[in-house]
Structure 1
Amino acid sequence: MRPVALPANQPADRFYAGGRQIAALRGTATWATHEPEDWVASTTAVFGQDPVGLTVLPDGGTLRDAIEADPVAWLGADHVAAFGSDPALLVKLLDAGQRLPVHAHPDVPFAAAHLGLAHGKTEAWVVLEPARVHLGFTRDVGADELAGWVADQATDAMLGAMHTLDLAAGDAVLVPAGLPHAIGEGALVVELQEPTDLSILLEWDGFAIDGAAAGHLGLGFDVALAAVDRRGWSPEDVARLRGATASDDGDLLPGAAPFFRVERWAGSRALDAGFAVVVVVDGSGTLAAGGAELPVRRGATVVVPASAGPVALDGAELRVVVCRPPAPAT
């Protein structure tokens, strides 16, 4: 099997606006206002809208079906022994044309108990364009207080109780499931996630969505808000969520390993064999594996099957983000 270069896969009519940055990164002329996310090598569908969000391969079939048909070739024997045919990873490009609403994602126990799913939605951001973000509460927030904010759409109160971080291009941040957050306008990030589309909206006023009806995963807010981490996080706690900065290569977020792995590399080098999603964030060159050589440039996205073997990157100016599932336990 060989690596596959993937075109953009941007679900339409999302409830928040995107900008021109995904199009600019990929070098395409067209863009749509409400297509802020590019779901890369996705086997995950938009919540309640299957098959929207699934990656379609050049042969017309979905990546999900291809992996189901031959999981060992795509994911490797060790991965299949640990996780079955589940890639255990979703990668997105996210272009925030406006500040995203304050929201949170359930963790694994909550998703299992209430939705019958194997994954929650811990995520991470590798920042390509600077962003101001809001992340976690600065103090303990009572259940009734949070429910009141949501019912009243008290955005100022919510944001006023959250940490504000100014992220630079190159920064990496882990966002544990449950932690309330909002990505600021102008951000462009490579986003790694557990492979679900589960969001609990704490804010929706001014966005193109009926959050009172659609913001609680069909569970009702009395249940859904129990998934939100209402603890006060100290500045030191939040700082520990930050991993690499722009000057760092290698493993950007070691603390994310139970959920996914993310590396950044510059220049020519070899990558270990294994299922991977490669995002070229700068430069140009070639990516070779499985007897095939692909020309790649800034904005290219490539899915690499495990059976393609080691990957050779060639290009002095290449800079890539390599996204992988969690490593099977040894």
Structure 2
Amino acid sequence: MTTLTAGGTLLGANQPADRFYAGGERIAAFRGDGAARPHTPEDWVGSVTPLFGEASLGRTVLPDGTALADAVAADPVAWLGEEHVAAFGADTCLLVKLLDAGQRLPVHAHPDVPFAAEHLGLAHGKTEAWIFLEPADVHLGFTREVGEDELARWVSAQDTAAMLGAMHRLSVEAGDAVLVPAGTAHAIGEGAFLVELQEPTDLSILMEWDGFAIDGAVAGHLGLGFDRALRAVDRRALSREQVESLRTARARDGGSLLAAAAPFFRAERVRGDSVLEAGFSVLVCTAGAATLTFESGDSLDVRRGATALLPHAAGVWSVTAGPGFEAIRCRPPSPADAV
């Protein structure tokens, strides 16, 4: 813990095996650490969250063999800061992933905080956001009001054409950031490669599973049954303007991204030489290389594909950037903006 609180630490890949959709090649190429295993499309970065139904799979293990969740619980102030702990306790309030969609993901949605609290006894739902590293197409939200019985029929019949036909299709460019409020139906398109920020849960309600390596009729409803689980889906019509408002187009400049996500998490793009305030952070280096220097005088070198975990106790830190350096800094919500 002493070394970690003095600065930051580089994290290796944390890719749960045998996921139900394809991918992983882009993560391996991005990280530069060899050939990808099949069906490892997610890299859980700085995670204190296990996969749904698992005790520890998905949680980050630090280089000394300590689970990050245990390290944070043992010294939450050093990791998260006094203000964060006063507002949230030892909850990091954040999960970050690299996601490589080797095939289109199924249509699904995530519950919001009230639904998760009432039906699952959890403090978090799963609002999420995507920051794209490569162009892609996504489906996001319904173009018209969808009836409760209609949605149930689509799911029962696995009528993918009807689901996708009732959803907005959005083409995104590298650098675009998209907020996905909990409850919103969505499906990330094949070929997407992105950094995902989300509330720290693994809660997904599958509306589609036909053709995927999962029995959605059993595993797609969080153990609640579809009669209850589908109540978490936002069936309202979204206008094209409302869907476009969820995107920060080509958000390549330095500074804050995803302002509307502030009650759930924060993201900022770091470019060039910078001085950054203290705070628990997951840093994903997306281009170039840089040296991070912390208040202790310790330093950490990062390059494209590196992910780093930075505790609050590292203090204010500076970036000495090489040519073309860019990174995404992912953070919990500010206590002032908390839900």
Bin of the TM-score, shorter chain as denominator length: over 0.9
Partners of 1:216 and 1:230 in 2: CA distance: 17
Structure 2: segments with no counterpart, 5+ residues: none
Match of 2:316 among 297, 300, 310: 310
Match of 1:278 among 265, 283, 305: 283
- 1:246-265 → structure 2 map (5 Å cutoff): 246-265=251-270
How far the C-alpha of 1:247 sits from its partner, in A, is 3.6
**RMSD in angstroms over aligned alpha carbons?**
0.9
Q: Secondary structure of 1:226's partner?
A: helix
Partner of 2:327: 320
Partner of 2:244: 239
Amino acid at match of 2:116: A
How far the C-alpha of 1:309 sits from its partner, in A, is 0.3
Give yes or no for the alignment of 1:89 onto 2:101: no
Q: Secondary structure of 1:80's partner?
A: helix
Partner of 1:266: 271
Match of 1:296 among 278, 299, 302: 302
Partner of 2:25: 20
How far the C-alpha of 1:288 sits from its partner, in A, is 1.7
8 A Cα contact 1:244 1:252, kept in partner: no
Amino acid at match of 1:168: E
Match of 1:149 among 148, 154, 169: 154
How far the C-alpha of 1:246 sits from its partner, in A, is 4.1
8 A Cα contact 1:128 1:170, kept in partner: yes
Q: Secondary structure of 1:129's partner?
A: coil
8 A Cα contact 2:291 2:320, kept in partner: yes
Partner of 2:231: 226
Partners of 1:97 and 1:259 in 2: CA distance: 28
8 A Cα contact 2:253 2:271, kept in partner: no
Q: Secondary structure of 1:206's partner?
A: coil
8 A Cα contact 1:244 1:253, kept in partner: no
- 1:1-330 → structure 2 map (5 Å cutoff): 1=5, 2-289=7-294, 290-316=296-322, 317-329=324-336
Percent sequence identity is: 66
Output one character per residue of 1:112-145: Cα deviation in whole Å (capped at 9) or x when no partner: 0000000000000000011100000000000000
Output one character per residue of 1:76-125: Cα deviation in whole Å (capped at 9) or x when no partner: 00000000000000000000000000000000000000000000000000
Output one character per residue of 1:204-225: Cα deviation in whole Å (capped at 9) or x when no partner: 0000000000000000000000
Q: Secondary structure of 1:86's partner?
A: coil
